[in-house]
A and B are shown apart, each in its own frame.
Chain A
Amino acid sequence: MATLQLRDIRKSFGAFEVIKGIDLEIDDREFVVFVGPSGCGKSTLLRMIAGLEEITGGDLMIDGKRINRVGPADRGLAMVFQSYALYPHMTVRQNMAFALRLARVPKAERDRKVDEAARILQLEPYLERRPKDLSGGQRQRVAIGRAIVRQPKVFLFDEPLSNLDAALRGQMRIELLRLHEELNATMIYVTHDQIEAMTMADKIVVLQAGRVEQVGSPLELYHHPANLFVAGFIGSPRMNLMEAKVVETGPTGTSVALPSGPRIEVPIEGGTTANGDAVTLGIRPEGLRIDPAGPIAGTVALVERLGGLTLLHLTIAGSEPMTVQIEGSDATRTHDQIRLAVDPAACHLFDQAGQALPQHARHPLAA
């Protein structure tokens, strides 16, 4: 059982404020991912939760108790570091047992806990080795094992997979999810990799410049981004964003015109926008499809063939370039002139301040 509350958490280095007031609720057994571009403060926030950085302002509560002034070892947390931070002169067993040894746990119990963690992580054959004799993935598992033996209330992960190669990263993602299931623990995970965020999180916290941009389930962020930043940050390839003008607002939706001419009607409430207002139209690359009768005309500048998917990069006269994602292998070639149809349900509108206008229908999976 562990819940975490952050109340207006702030952090300043001198006069420079890096964390600008963060409020967050983390439920028991939740897998929360902090995601954001480099320098957004996500690692600092995690280190503040861990107790490695002092908290300048606000309250950090675990299970309802304020722990701002509690030392890192006494918060009941365990952290997995980006560099793994294994102790190079100790064997795997000694590494994993170090915290227990410092806590004066009897040797028999220490061994039992280490053996248990080693079983979960399939590290049994490596217990007497030193970190330098292990592969990257094995070191990663030892670092996780070191966290497991402490039976923490909350696991903290600081970009733990960024030093692994792509294949291993995919494997470790699945392993971490399995662990989360098996250990039934609350986990906070920091990454800049949105695939890790999308695939692992129960709840994603998108951070930018020390502020929370949006909190929600992966599909909520994907289908209902709260603002331009989240819309551009979540999803790969990126959402197509283009300038447009409101031409008509009605009860069923809003019509916008692209600078290149075509009008698109989208099922979004116009809200406070008036006719003629400039807005930003966002369309996911999979919300576009090739259609000879479609409203948007463009020239293919580049084709990326991924086998299962084909990505077309288009130049549009009088508008920003667009990316189109097509299922399967498509025959379209570079320099082809094509027309695109838009799936209105996959469109987003953002006002001048970059805030999303509410959609009529919520996506069924993004409650």
Chain B
Amino acid sequence: MSTTSTPDATLSGSEAEATRKVGPLLVMPSVIVLLAWMIVPLVMTLWFSFQYYNLVDPTTRGFAGIDNYAYLVTDPDFWVSLENTLILLVAVLVITVGLGTLLAVVFNLPFPGRNIARVLAISPFFVMPTVSALIWKNLLMHPIYGVFGALASTLGLPPVDWFAQFPLAAVIAIVSWEWLPFALLILLTAVQSLDHEQREAARMDGAGPLAQFFFITLPHLSRAIGVVIMIETIFLLTVFAEIFVTTSGGPGNATTNLAFLIYARALLQYDIGGASAGGVVAIVLANIVAFFLVRSIARRLEV
């Protein structure tokens, strides 16, 4: 009786059930590929980090216990690389978000040639890291034939050998130059989405340009700033090409970050086990940062 009275409902019910059964099957291929892509390297890294595994000495293999980790944390290079990673991260974030916010406000003001200026300001983002690092190294920062050296000598100052004297600052400058356009792009769109009546209301309330910036624009941008910080953090923890091309982690270990340390362990010293231990530390570090960031930013996104 009930089946005859509601044939449509039972039909759609069975259809829904069929969808529920078929759905996972249809999603399976992509899920399997993605899982394999992530899980296999992760498990292999974990596995290698507990193994003696050096490419120069294939005869010493076997379970290492926590030897690789013990060796890593007692290595002063490791702590320096952690420090460098965090300095690089924080410095680039401060520079790109700070300058990006100011530039976003400036590029939102009407001035002649604004569109061209915007394109020019955003274009560094399209230059690949190795290329921009090489340009900075050879055309700008080189003490003999770099532009900065030439500028210094016209002022009668001795040229600065940036990568020898201020290596980490030089890398920070390059990475900031690459990421400033990204911050600018996101923050500029956010500035543009600010309701102009809000700004006018603030003007009527007696807010000057500075008060408008701090009380209206900056709070409006907080969400976008959170997004910029989150995305940049993900990429800045793994900066590699710029260091590889310019300083190779040097002089000494002055510009070695965690990513470069792992590279050096694995492909310069051929210590796969030790490099894998470093990789696991990097994963843990990234997850700690991601945990706090995602939590704080997700909370702000709800507003």
List the interface of chain A (C-beta within 8 A of B).
50-52, 72-74, 77-79, 81-83, 85-89, 98-99, 102-103, 130, 132, 146, 150
**B206/A79 in contact, CB under 8 A:** no
Beyond contacts A72-B203, A73-B205, A87-B201: 14 other A-B pairs, Cβ-Cβ < 8 A, are: A50-B204, A51-B204, A52-B200, A73-B203, A78-B204, A79-B201, A81-B197, A85-B195, A85-B197, A88-B303, A89-B219, A89-B222, A102-B211, A146-B201
Q: Bound state CA distance, A51 and B202, in angstroms? A: 13
Cross-chain pairs A/B with CB under 8 angstroms, 7 sampled: A52-B203, A52-B204, A78-B204, A83-B195, A87-B215, A99-B204, A99-B206
Q: Are A82 and B197 interface neighbours, CB within 8 A?
A: yes
Contact between chains at A85 and B206 (CB < 8 Å): no
Most-contacted residue by chain A among B205, B215, B219 (CB, 10 A): B205
Is there an interface contact between A87 and B198, defined as CB atoms closer than 8 Å? yes
Query: Quick check: B203 and A83 within 8 Å, CB to CB?
Result: no
Q: What chain A residues lie within 8 Å of B203 (beta carbons)?
A: 52, 72-73
Contacts of B197 in A (CB 8 A): 81-83, 85
CB pair A85 B303 closer than 8 Å: no
B219 to chain A: which residues have CB within 8 Å?
87-89
Interchain CB contact under 8 A, A81 and B201? yes
With contacts defined as CB atoms under 8 Å apart, how many contacts are there between chain A and chain B in the complex? Answer: 62
Contact B205 A77, beta carbon cutoff 8 Å: no
The answer to whether A77 touches B303 (Cβ under 8 A) is no
Interface pairs A-B: 6 shortest CB-CB: A73-B206, A99-B205, A85-B197, A85-B201, A89-B219, A81-B197
Cβ-closest chain A residue relative to B201: A85
Answer whether residue B281 sits at the interface, using C-beta atoms and an 8 A cutoff. Answer: no
Chain A residues lying within 8 Å of B200, measured Cβ to Cβ, are 52, 72, 79, 81, 85
Chain A residues with CB below 8 A from B204, complex form: 50-52, 72-73, 77-79, 99
Instruction: Tell yes or no: B216 within 8 A of A by CB.
Output: yes
Partner among B202, B220, B222 whose Cβ is within 8 Å of the Cβ of A98: B202
Contacting residues, chain A, for B220 (C-beta < 8 A): 88-89
Chain A minimum-CB-distance residue to B303: A89
Could you say which residues of chain B place their CB within 8 Å of the CB of A73?
A: 203-207
Bound together, the chains give a CA A130 to CA B195 distance in angstroms of: 17
Inside 8 A of B205's CB, which chain A residues have their CB?
A: 73, 98-99, 102, 146, 150
Q: For residue B206, which residue of chain A has the nearest CB?
A: A73
Question: Smallest Cβ distance from A92 to chain B, in angstroms?
Answer: 14
A83 CA to B198 CA in the complex, in Å?
9
Q: How far is the CB of B16 from chain A (nearest CB, A)?
A: 35
Instruction: Please measure, in the bound complex, the distance between the C-alpha atom of A146 and the C-alpha atom of B200, giving whole angstroms.
Output: 13
Could you tell me if B206 and A102 are in contact, using CB atoms closer than 8 angstroms?
yes
CB < 8 Å neighbour of B198 from A72, A77, A79, A85 = A85
Give the chain A neighbours of B206 by CB distance below 8 A. 73-74, 99, 102-103
List, in ascending order, chain B residues with CB within 8 A of A99's CB.
204-206
